[in-house]
Structure 1
Amino acid sequence: MKRRSFIKATAAALGFPALIPASALGRAGRPAPSDRITLGIIGYGTQGRYNTSNFLQDDRVQAVAVCDCNRESSLYGYNSGEPGGRDHGTRAINAHYAKKTGQSSYNGCASFVDFRELLEIPGLDAVMICTPDHWHAVMAITAMRKGLHVYCQKPLSLSVAEGRAMANVAKESGVTFQTGSQQRSDTYFKMAVEFIRNNRLGKIHKVEIGLPKAWHKFYGRTGALASFEPCAVPDGLDYELWTGPSPMRPYCSALQPLSWRSNYDFAGGVLTDWGAHHSDIVQWAFDKDHSGPTSIENIKAVEMPPAGDVFNVAKGFSYDFVYPEGARVTVNNEFKVGIRFYGENDRSLFVTRGSISTNPAELIREKIKEDEIRVYASRSHERNFIDCIYSGKPTVAPCEVGHRSNTIGALAVIGLRLGHANLKWDPVAEKIVGNDAASAMLSRTLRKPWTL
């Protein structure tokens, strides 16, 4: 049976929505349904809403399902005033296709609480994972072992061992994988990387990375105002499933829906959230996509809360990561947000979202010539993912690359939590050298029944 017929027959038998034929969309030249990429959305919250919107702008994509263990609430977004959850996501996608087809209604997008059920949709090609960090590894590995292509938000994993497992399965399965490090699809960051690669600043001896100062308040009104006291789980939230592989703790409203980033059982705070982005650009600029620094040094916490607190990530931090060639990268939340590269003869370059500048100022006007080093060009992170599903080529941010960039912040978090100022790192063996306590934190125990 042809794939197209199989999808329709099996979907009908199991009650899943069939794909819309291209003719119904009124778009001449749109790929046939058997060629479109069927996409399942896992996590429809603050970031998931944004990524889904971008995928819906690509006519090669058909979003067929939304999964979220939260039915619906209006506390998403960094101002805690935006809607999210599976019911809202399903309605938004159905409304999109209804408008696109000129129909009064459309009900072809299914809704799920449990991601494992979504992964069983007949004919599913790919998934987008935009859940809390502690879920990324289990979900991505499960999807890849089913032969599904994966777009997974950063930080890629909660532990170094989980990231290594993800990268191994991505390689073994041969699926297309995109880490949601969207700065690699940004013109300014690409320009900065090519300037560094082509020695416009000379030898780089120092880099400064500035991350946002905010602590839990950065993650919305729930973190700033909600209660730390245990309370009833809201109607519509499957808290057991939300907690998943992390330790179960009493529910409190302060963790939902975005401030979970301020608890080490679920994330690494601003350090790994934004740190994964900016460390990734340094890795790219230094051509270290499959390697990394050899030490994390001068690790300091500013007001480290007790480990048992609901919000237990460091309120402030500073650390260096050092490459064997000598470049030292200092990260803290005091520098201006962005990345500043220091080269020879007082030359420097600063890049952040929305701008790039150099010293001297006229240096920015130099063009990268055709015979010079050019890095991977991507204009849209989601579109690049779909392009590569069709072509079989690597994405701009493959799983291995995302894992290597995420490892830097994960190591700094280990140092902060242990109070250890320096860690030696072997990027080839991916082992901490001479520190048993820190080495034990490269992995975590997953709560049963969850495994990798």
Structure 2
Amino acid sequence: MPHIPRRTFLKSSALTLASPFILSTGLKGQNRAAANDRINVGIIGLGSRGFNLLNAFLADPRVQITAICDVHDLHYRDRDWGQGTLFGRIPARTKIERQYGKAYKSGSYSGLFITSDYESLCQRDGIDAVVVATPDHWHAHCTLAAIQAGKDVYCEKPVTHYFGEGQQVYKEVEKQKAVFQTGSQQRSEPLFQHAVNLVRNGVLGKIKEIEVGIPPGYDTPQGSTEVLVPPVGLDYNQWCGPSEMLPYMQARHHRWWRGHRAFGGGVLMDWIGHHNDIAHWSLDLDNDGPTVVEAVDWTFPETDVYNTPHQYTIRCEYENGVTSTIASQNELGTKWIGENGWLHVSRGKLSASEKQWKDLKYNPGKFRVQEVPSHVGNFLDCMKSRQQCLAPAETAHRSITPGHLGYVSHQLQRPLRWNAKEEVVIDDQEANKLLMAASYRKNWS
């Protein structure tokens, strides 16, 4: 993307903010493509991850991006102005219009709907699927609006910010018979699939322990803590949305927002939906969970900018006798310790006590997880077949449940006995109340 001078940006932002709805210049009419077999997609959230998904969907010939939504016109994430990649509505619009340039001229593409109002995108006729790539505190609201409007949804992980939201999302997906994919893309990668196949086929023997390694949280402010007036082109009130409207600062906005519980669950909840998801998958616990969860050794940063843990361990016990630790001091990835040896997988790396286990051509046994062309491709395939995706809503909710329980256990300073079938803490009303709590601003629910 070309550099946009601040003066030019301010002028364009003033025009953009004058109206919440923009139709691409010179284009009118419905947004459904002339080619009726195309899947029309709308994207909510156009930051770094949103652009990654935008690129993935643009690359698939089955798709047309016909709507985008964000409350920020243009930004550089956590970089200084003019440095690095551009994000937001303006660069997203430019990228899409360049991609579909020939289609614009031929009339086979009828235009791009641009808005800062997620509900208007979700309600729009002609959109088949909605991609939710917002900060965590928006996931449930955007997802439910889309599903209830009859759309299929691809939502980034963690699937929701609060535990009760996760329950509502997966139940609504089932009720509406929607196709839902969580952005836990490790499930679509060969190394992780191979590791799960090894464990599920019993190659390691009976699994005794699992070590889930996640990065530490933020121990110091990750940017400037100077309280500022939100920049022109950003609707900060709408960015905060259902959550508390904290004073605006770089250290708590783009990229770093998850350090505060108002917007996310820290690095813990950011990564648990990846590596603990693989652990649950390997134990065939996609719709189940632990029996005991306990938070131990949590430390917090010495700053009021963030209130999520810097170092943490969550101990879990499972009905099958397996114990696990989800910890910032474990090696990043997922490690299984079994009767016959150990296995560790992380992004781009597979190591094991037995050399042959590392060979992707090694035959672990009859069981095989589903191999898919890509995570986005699996979602699009399932939209056509109406089959369940590789990372469905309930599975994603169950994978991060130990994180939600970990926060409650830490607050109460005691282990929790968990009934995974009923999704309640056993004989502990105080814990259940905390687990179901959700801090919304007035007029949000």
Q: How many residues align?
A: 417
Asked if the contact 2:218–2:301 (Cα under 8 Å) also holds between the matched residues in 1, the reply is: no
Measure, in 2, the Cα distance between the counterparts of 1:188 and 1:99: 39
Aligned to 1:349: 343
Partner letter of residue 351 of structure 2?
A: S
The alignment status of 1:274 with 2:267, answered yes or no, reads: no
Once residues 71 and 403 of structure 1 are traced to their aligned partners in structure 2, the CA distance between those partners, rounded to angstroms, is 32
Aligned partner (choices 69, 73, 86) of residue 83 of structure 1: 86
Matches within 5 A, 1:140-151: 140-151=143-154
3-state DSSP class of the match of 1:224?
Answer: coil
- Which of 179, 197, 200 is residue 197 of structure 1 equivalent to? 200
- Match of 2:261, SS state, is coil
Aligned to 1:40: 42
My pick for the range that moved more, 369-378 or 56-65, is 369-378
Change over 3 Å in CA distance of 1:421–1:368 after alignment to 2: farther
Which stretch of the first structure deviates more once superposed, 122-131 or 75-84? 75-84
**Cα distance in 2 for residues equivalent to 1:393 and 1:177:** 10
2:260 is aligned, of 260, 263, 268, to 263
Per the normalisation by structure 2, the TM-score is 0.88
Name the residue aligned to 1:331: 326
Corresponding letter in the other structure for 2:290: P
Residue of structure 1 equivalent to 2:228: 231
2:86 counterpart SS class:
strand
Aligned to 1:65, what secondary structure does the other structure show?
A: strand
* Structure 2 CA distance for aligned equivalents of residues 99 and 434 of structure 1: 63
- Other-structure match for 2:390: 396
Relative to structure 1, the CA distance from residue 39 to residue 65 in structure 2 (aligned partners, 3 Å threshold; closer, same or farther) is same
Deviations 1:187-221 (A, max 9, x none): 0000000100000100000111111235267xxxx
User: Structure 1 stretch 396-405 or stretch 77-86: which is displaced more?
Assistant: 77-86
RMSD across aligned positions (CA): 2.6
Match of 1:6 in 2: none
Paired residue type of 1:427: A
Q: 1:331 to 1:57 in 2, by over 3 A?
A: same
- Say whether the 8 Å CA contact 1:194–1:368 is kept in structure 2: no
Contact 1:157 1:406 in 2 (8 A): no
The 1:391/1:414 distance shift into structure 2, 3 A limit, reads: same
Task: Determine if contact 1:299/1:422 at 8 Å carries over to the other structure.
Answer: no
User: Using a 3 Å threshold, how does the CA distance of structure 1 residues 370 and 252 change in structure 2: closer, same or farther?
Assistant: closer
1:427-446 alignment to 2 at 5 Å?
427-443=420-436, 444-446=438-440
Q: Which runs of 5+ in 2 are unaligned?
A: 1-23
1:240: which partner in 2?
237
The partner residue of 2:409 within 415, 419, 427 is 415
How much does 1:225 deviate?
2.6
Relative to structure 1, the CA distance from residue 214 to residue 269 in structure 2 (aligned partners, 3 Å threshold; closer, same or farther) is closer
Superposed CA offset, 1:283-325 (max 9, x none): 100000111111112522123557xx22111111112111111
Match of 1:116 in 2: 119
Residue of structure 2 aligned with 1:425, choices 418, 422, 428: 418
Is contact 1:268-1:413 (8 Å) kept? Answer: no
TM-score by length of 1: 0.86
Task: Work out the CA distance in 2 between the residues paired with 1:88 and 1:238.
Answer: 17
State the identity %: 35
Cα distance between partner residues in 2 of 1:202 and 1:370: 12
Helix, strand or coil: the match of 1:225? coil
Preserved contact between residue 176 and residue 394 of structure 1 (Cα < 8 Å): yes
SS at the partner of 1:288?
Answer: coil
Q: How far off is 1:152 after superposition?
A: 0.4
2:3 alignment counterpart? none
Aligned partner letter, 1:434: D
SS in 1 for 2:153: strand
Deviates most, 309-318 or 144-153: 309-318
The structure 2 residue matched to 1:176, chosen from 176, 179, 194, is 179
* SS at 1:40 equivalent: strand
Of stretches 35-44 and 331-340 in structure 1, the one that deviates more from structure 2 is 331-340
1:153 matched to 2:156? The reply is yes
What is the rounded CA distance, in whole Å, between the counterparts of 1:156 and 1:16 in structure 2?
34
Residue from 162, 166, 175 that aligns with 2:165: 162
- In structure 2, the CA distance between the partners of 1:403 and 1:82, relative to structure 1 (3 Å rule), is same
CA shift, 1:370, in A, is 9.3
Superposition deviation, residue 92 in structure 1: 1.3
Is the CA contact (8 Å cut-off) linking 2:299 and 2:310 kept in structure 1?
Answer: yes
Point out the more displaced range, 106-115 or 389-398: 106-115
Partner AA of 2:223 in structure 1: L
**Which residue of the other structure, out of 59, 62, 65, is the alignment partner of 2:64?**
62
Contact 2:418 2:425 in 1 (8 A): yes
> Is 1:448 the counterpart of 2:445 in the alignment?
no
Instruction: Name the CA distance, whole Å, in 2 between partners of 1:176 and 1:362.
Output: 38
Q: Indicate how the Cα distance of structure 1 residues 216 and 449 shifts in structure 2: closer, same or farther if over 3 A, else same.
A: farther
Q: Contact 1:45–1:76 (CA<8 Å) still a contact in 2? A: no
Out of 183-192 and 93-102, give the one that drifted further: 93-102
- 8 Å CA contact 2:242, 2:444 repeated in 1: yes
1:49 aligns with 2:51: yes
Q: Does 1:286 align with 2:286?
A: no
Question: Shift in Å at residue 109 of structure 1?
Answer: 2.0
**Closer/same/farther in 2, CA of residues 252 and 370 from structure 1, 3 Å limit:** closer
**Could you report, residue by residue, the CA deviation over 1:331-374 in whole angstroms, capped at 9, with x for unpaired residues?**
211222111100114x1101000121210223334856597111
Secondary structure of the residue that 2:435 maps to in structure 1? Answer: coil
CA contact (8 A) 1:46 1:76 kept: no
Deviation at 1:270, TM superposition (A): 1.0
- Classify 1:99/1:209 alpha carbon distance in 2 versus 1 (closer, same or farther; 3 Å): farther
For residue 39 of structure 1, what is the amino acid of its counterpart? V
**How far apart are the structure 2 equivalents of 1:231 and 1:42?**
25
Q: Which one is further off, 132-141 or 427-436?
A: 427-436
Shift of 1:121: 2.2
Distance, in Å, in 2 between the alignment partners of 1:177 and 1:284 is: 17
Does the CA-based 8 Å contact 2:300-2:307 persist in structure 1?
A: no
| Counterparts in 2 of 1:371 and 1:365: CA distance versus 1, 3 Å | closer
* 1:66-123 deviation per Cα after TM superposition (whole angstroms, max 9, x unaligned): 10011111125899833211122111111122267788xx982221111111123221
